[in-house]
């Protein structure tokens, strides 16, 4: 199980960096960015984007090319809560 946790943590860090590129913490308008980050900062394992990256790897794709889609999956999931 520790290998899976290690992969999930690695992918979560990658996805978090990608999300911060799309949604800057200090972006304008603050009334939009602040509530988004309140949701995104609640934590979680980032399991959905990890699955996206794992499926990409399974079919021979490149993680760096799938990373924007993985981040989008997490953003969409959080914004629909």
- pLDDT digits 0-9 by tens, 19-48: 999 888 887 888 888 888 888 888 778 999
Domain extent, residue 64, equals 2-79
> pLDDT value at position 52?
96
> pLDDT value at position 1?
66
Residue 81 has pLDDT above 80, yes or no: no
Which of the two residues, 14 and 29, has the higher pLDDT score?
Answer: 14
Cis peptide before 58 (omega within 30 of 0): no
Query: What burial class does residue 30 get, using C-beta atoms within 10 Å of its C-beta: 0-12 exposed, 13-18 middle, 19+ buried?
Result: exposed
Separation CA 9–CA 66 (nearest Å) = 17
pTM recorded for the entire structure:
0.84
Other beta carbons within 10 angstroms of residue 18's beta carbon come to 20
Number of structural domains (the chain) is 1
């Amino acid at each position: 199980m520790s290998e899976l946790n290690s992969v999930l943590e690695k992918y979560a860090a990658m996805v978090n960096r990608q999300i911060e590129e799309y949604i800057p913490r200090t972006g304008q308008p603050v009334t939009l960015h602040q509530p988004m980050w309140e949701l995104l900062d609640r934590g979680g394992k980032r399991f959905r984007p990890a699955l996206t990256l794992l499926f990409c790897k399974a079919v021979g794709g490149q993680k760096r090319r799938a990373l924007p889609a993985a981040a989008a999956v997490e953003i969409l999931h959080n914004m629909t809560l």
